Structure 1
Amino acid sequence: MPPVSSPGSLDSSGPRFSAGDRAARVRFRRAMALMVMTLVLPGSAQVVAGNRRIGWIALRTWALLWLVFLVTVISGAIWHGLVFRLAFDTAALLLLRLGLMALAVGWAFLFVDAWRLGQPLTLSMSHRRAAIGVNGVLCFSIVAALLFGAHLVGVQRQFILAMSGNGEVTGAHDGRYNVLLLGGDSGAGRWGLRPDSMTVASIDAETGRTVLISLPRNMQNFPFAKGSVMHEQFPDGFDADYLNGVSTWAGDNTELFPDSDNPGVEATVEAVEGITGLKINYWAMVNLEGFKDLVDAFGGVTLNVRQPIPVGGLGDDVTGYIKPGVRKLNGFETLWFARARDDSDDYSRMARQKCVMNAMLHQISPQTAVSNFAQIAQASSAMVSTDIPSSEFSRFVQLALKARGQQVSTLSLVPPMIDTAHPDIKLVRAKVAAAIDHAEGNGSAPAAPKKHKNATVTGGSIGSLSSGYAANEAEDLDTAC
């Protein structure tokens, strides 16, 4: 008769675990637990098994960080402006970046210390390798995420520093911010000397409702704002060149602008104020060649291409065409959609440029901006020069988000409404005032633009030189484009 196994012993056919094996498993589980504790509650492993003073410092720091995070989230949910202010405050961003880097170093130290507290030399070789692998994955994942976050914060801060201008903060004029957008020719040492396009974005300071007022580059015999430097030089109006030549004239006479870093832009602002009667708050110069990089960073823009748009021209050969249809264009194609003048005219091009502005305002989502943030920041900082101080960035971002859900109105001071060679300035200012009043819901609606029967298309824009282009005078750009 075979011997009977003693109670509690393993069957001879099953695996046999010695007391040493069981102790090894316990040590391994303890080592893994210490690492998981460090992942969930940094410092808890030290409180349980190591330097309690370091552990309590880490735990209190962790609790404080969570408290700051929750307070910021709750405050941001109640007061949205707080989030934007923090996002564009260079001091706060520097503090956040340093904090993320310090957190990465400190957390990595706690992971290494937790591995040490797990007594790796007492583990079997297989358990030791597993502990090293788990600790390495956890440590490098956390540190990489924190350092990447610090990198993005650094990119945002450098973007703000590169973009911000040295202009003085100005309040709204009659409840609106008027920003002059200048599209400059690109080229070594010359982009922006003769602006290709000039548009005033008049933005309601409360709602973000925007009216785009465009001025033709070939306007002549116009006045400057009274009391300005240029008005003293041309009291009877500018007869030395076209409107886009004001910048060049000022650049050749910089002694008249001793305190200005951008005499050409300052002179152009004085011209725009004299023509429209609006007080300009800020200006932004856009490098049209760099614009394509920004569009690519956003993943392209969808536009209604109504006719084949030539690629090239402007003194060079036409190398191809953008085909008609509702198409998602990349940066190169979008640039030529906005710039092409072959088989077209300046006023058709102005209409297409407004359609590009409208499309980008409504199609670019915050999610896209976040996911492609680094590329967008790099493209933007290389594309735009402005006098808007960084303290105003958060305000205009909030207004842009409000404007996304609203119509964009346009007014272009072009033929047949305005004779660009001898503009009627009283008529110009009346049209500007009427367009703004109507956008704000005040006064009577301006005269409706001429209807374009059978969707007459010239140069890729609805309308013609004789009848005017729909996108150049529209209450809603979506319907005109």
Structure 2
Amino acid sequence: AGAGLLALRGDVVARVLTASVQPRTLLVAGVTIAVVAAAWCVTVLATAWTARPERPSVAPRALGVALVAALCTAIAAPSSVGVRYALIQRDVVTSLFTTGTTSGTAVAGGAVPVQGKADPWAGVPRVNMLLLGSDAGRDRTGVRTDSMIVASIDTHTGDAVLFGLPRNLERVPFPASDPLSKVWPNGFDCGSVCLLNAVWEQAATTHRDLFPGDPNPGLTATRDVIGEVLGLKIDTYTIIDLSGFQALVDAMGGVDINVPRRIPIGGGHNQATGNALPIYGYIEPGRQHLDGYHALWFSRSREGSDDYDRMGRQRCMVSALLDQANPVQLLARYPALAKVAKNNIQSGIRQQDLAAWVTLVERIQRGKIRSLPTTNKVVDVTDPDFAKIRRLVATAITPKVASTPTPGATATARPKPDLATAQDAKAVC
């Protein structure tokens, strides 16, 4: 009986979440709640009027009015919250997610689930999502892709591999289908200036004329080149402005994460003068509950470390947020989350596919998340072996056959992790 109740609860939650990503359903729900609440209040008023005494004294009349007011308030208060949430959610869904396959918004040719099937992902064994952290601050010109991660997801098991790419990767190749391949046929190679995180501005500003009709050439070129580096077809993307990351974590109620060492808050150097910047404090090592401010510094701090250490912390943060995102618990914080999402997140997921993505996210939370960083310990970032990178990626996403232990074998010490293979995110974080 208990198992049946849990299964029923899970089914109800899944149905509610599925309905919550359908704009038409949300609009109908909002209108229906408002109409039902109004009708209910009218019924209460009509009943009170019919049942009133012919000549009530002052006290009973006052009591009757107070009772009717209390009943109508009890109906109107939760109903107004329901209408508000439904309309907020509809606004977020329609503004955040795409409706078509226009280049630069949705990814043309990307794998998409099949609507109306019991399992919409049955014909899509794997989907690859590009996760970009955009650092477009007021003091900076253009967009800098400060964080670049591809999540390759097994749609049947929910197992995912996070591939992190360093922003200083050089000589990155453009596929023949990308217009920048005409400018850089042998890869993006002009020394230390031509880094992976500079591709966006090459397309968005320097060579925008090569992308006629494309509303977001920077995204197109970045997506194309990362797919070529990894040997993967990028199916969709999510971009979060890092200035909004702090607000997002705060709206989620914070995040629990293992801090491997003291992480400086501040530090680094002024890019204009070269002078050292002050350190304002530290995030202490150990298991910590971080608010948005400290989560951002955990993910971005470079003082006393390098880009590769920072990449590892960013992947741990992504894994922690995915693992701890509970749709039911987030409901109470929803208005704040919706505001952050609308102002700071872009996505290539189509509105008509959102219900299928709800199913996939539930599978990811039950699956295993592994991580494979493309660091200087795996590849030479100044002269990368892209064939090697693609082999490592292919190996990481190939399902492994479980080995059978030899009878009588004795346990041995745990070997050091192979940096060229994907590691369990929970184990390394």
Bin of the TM-score, shorter chain as denominator length: 0.7 to 0.9
1:231 to 160, 177, 181: 181
Residue of structure 1 in register with 2:234 after alignment = 280
Q: CA deviation at 1:386?
A: 1.9
* Contact kept in structure 1, 2:164 and 2:372, CA below 8 Å: yes
- Helix, strand or coil for the counterpart of 1:404? helix
What amino acid does structure 1 have at the position aligned with 2:367?
Q
Match of 1:392, as an amino acid?
D
Correspondence 1:335-374 to 2 at 5 A: 335-374=296-335
Letter in 1 for 2:239: M
C-alpha separation in 1, matches of 2:345 and 2:137: 14
Partner of 1:92: 25
1:44-63 aligned at under 5 Å gives the runs: none
Match of 1:319 among 280, 290, 295: 280
2:416 to 432, 445, 451: 451
**Counterpart position of 1:478:** 426
- One of 214, 228, 238 as aligned partner of 1:260: 214
- CA shift in 2, pair 1:474/1:425, >3 Å: closer
Cα distance in 2 for partners of 1:214, 1:179 equals 12
Deviations 1:415-464 (A, max 9, x none): 11111111111101000000000xx33699xxxx9727xxxxxxxxxxxx
Contact 1:185/1:288 (<8 A) preserved: yes
Deviations 1:280-312 (A, max 9, x none): 011111111211111111111111112111112
Q: 2:176 & 2:9 partners in 1: Cα distance?
A: 44
SS in 1 for 2:346: strand
State the AA in 1 paired with 2:416.
K
What is aligned with 2:195? 242
The corresponding residue for 1:430 is: 391
Equivalent residues of 1:199, 1:214 under 8 A apart: yes
C-alpha deviation, 1:132, in angstroms: 1.2
- Over 3 Å counting, the alpha-carbon distance change for 1:174 and 1:159 in structure 2 is closer
Structure 2: how far apart are the matches of 1:92 and 1:473? 44
Q: Is 1:441 aligned to 2:391, yes or no? A: no
Q: Which amino acid in the other structure matches residue 144 of structure 2? A: R
Cα 1:192–1:381 shift into 2, 3 Å: farther
- After TM superposition, list the pairs within 5 Å mapping 1:68-107 onto structure 2: 83-107=16-40
The alignment partner of 2:127 has SS state of strand
**Identity over the aligned pairs, expressed in percent?**
32
Q: After superposition, give the CA deviation of every residue in 1:229-266 in whole Å (9 maximum; x if it has no partner).
A: 22232211111410000001111221111121111110
Asked if 1 retains the 8 angstrom alpha-carbon contact of 2:170 and 2:382, the reply is yes
For residues 83 and 148 of structure 1, do their structure 2 counterparts lie closer, same or farther at Cα, with a shift above 3 Å needed?
closer
Retained in 1: the 8 A contact 2:22–2:354? no
Kindly name which structure, 1 or 2, has the bigger radius of gyration based on alpha carbons.
1
Contact 1:304 1:326 in 2 (8 A): yes
Aligned to 1:61: none
Q: 1:154 aligns with which of 87, 106, 123?
A: 87
Instruction: Please say if residues 180 and 269 of structure 1, whose CA atoms lie closer than 8 Å, have aligned partners that are also in contact.
Output: yes
Gaps of 5+ in 1: 1-73, 453-466
Give the Cα–Cα distance (whole angstroms) in 2 for the partners of residues 275 and 215 of structure 1: 9
Q: 1:62 aligns to what? A: none
Shift of 1:122: 2.3
Matched, 1:133 2:66: yes
In 2: Cα distance, 1:347 partner to 1:244 partner: 14
Q: CA deviation at 1:389?
A: 1.6
- Structure 1 403/80 Cα, relative in aligned 2: closer, same or farther at 3 Å? same
In structure 2, relative to structure 1, the CA distance for the partners of 1:400 and 1:323 (3 Å cut) is same
Change (3 A) 1:192 1:379: farther
- Answer yes or no: is the 8 Å Cα contact 2:316–2:425 preserved in 1: yes
Match of 2:410 in 1: none
Residues 323-360 of structure 1, C-alpha deviations (whole Å, 9 max, x = no match): 22211111100000000001110000000111111111
Check the 8 A contact 2:396/2:422 in 1, yes or no: no
Mapped to 1, the partners of 2:136 and 2:343 lie a distance apart of: 12
Relative to structure 1, is the Cα distance of residues 164 and 191 closer, same or farther in structure 2, using a 3 angstrom cutoff? farther
* Length-normalised TM-score, structure 2: 0.83
The partner residue of 2:56 within 114, 120, 123 is 123
Deviations 1:144-166 (A, max 9, x none): 11111000111111111221134
1:167 corresponds in structure 2 to 106
Cα separation, partners in 2 of 1:223 and 1:257, compared to 1, 3 Å: same
Question: 1:194, 1:87 → 2: CA distance?
Answer: 33
Q: Letter of the aligned partner of 1:103 in structure 2? A: V
The alpha-carbon distance between structure 1 residues 204 and 380, as it changes in their structure 2 partners (threshold 3 A), is same
* CA separation of 1:154 and 1:256: change in aligned 2, threshold 3 A: same
Quick check: 102-111 or 269-278, which moved more? 102-111
- Contact preservation (8 Å) 2:392, 2:421: no
Of 250, 274, 277, which aligns to 1:296?
Answer: 250
Q: CA deviation at 1:124?
A: 2.3
Bigger relative contact order, structure 1 or 2 (CA pairs below 8 A, ≥6 apart): 2
Distance in structure 2 (CA, Å) of the matches to 1:283 and 1:406: 21
**TM-score between the two structures when normalised by the length of structure 1:** 0.75
Distance 2:94 2:137 in 1: 23
Q: Which amino acid aligns with 1:197?
A: S
Q: Residue 182 in 1 paired to residue 138 in 2? A: no
Measured in 2, the distance between the counterparts of 1:207 and 1:281 equals 18
Letter in 2 for 1:154: L
SS at match of 2:366: coil
For 2:188, the aligned partner's letter is: F
Gaps of 5+ in 2: 1-6, 99-104, 113-122, 271-276, 404-413
Partner SS for 2:375: coil
Match of 1:401 among 335, 353, 362: 362
* CA distance 1:360–1:380, shift in 2 (3 Å): same
Equivalences, count: 385
Further displaced range: 376-385 or 325-334: 376-385
Q: SS of the counterpart of 1:122?
A: coil
**Aligned-partner Cα distance in 2 for 1:274–1:427:** 13
**Kept in 2: contact 1:184–1:191 (CA 8 A):** no
8 A contact 2:239–2:346 mirrored in 1: yes
Summarize the Cα distance change of 1:113–1:374 in structure 2 as closer, same or farther, 3 Å threshold.
same
Query: Closer, same or farther in 2 for the Cα pair 1:431/1:191, shift >3 Å?
Result: farther
Deviation string, structure 1 residues 168-209 (Cα, Å, up to 9, x no partner): 574259721111111111424968711001000111122221
Query: What is aligned with 1:333?
Result: 294
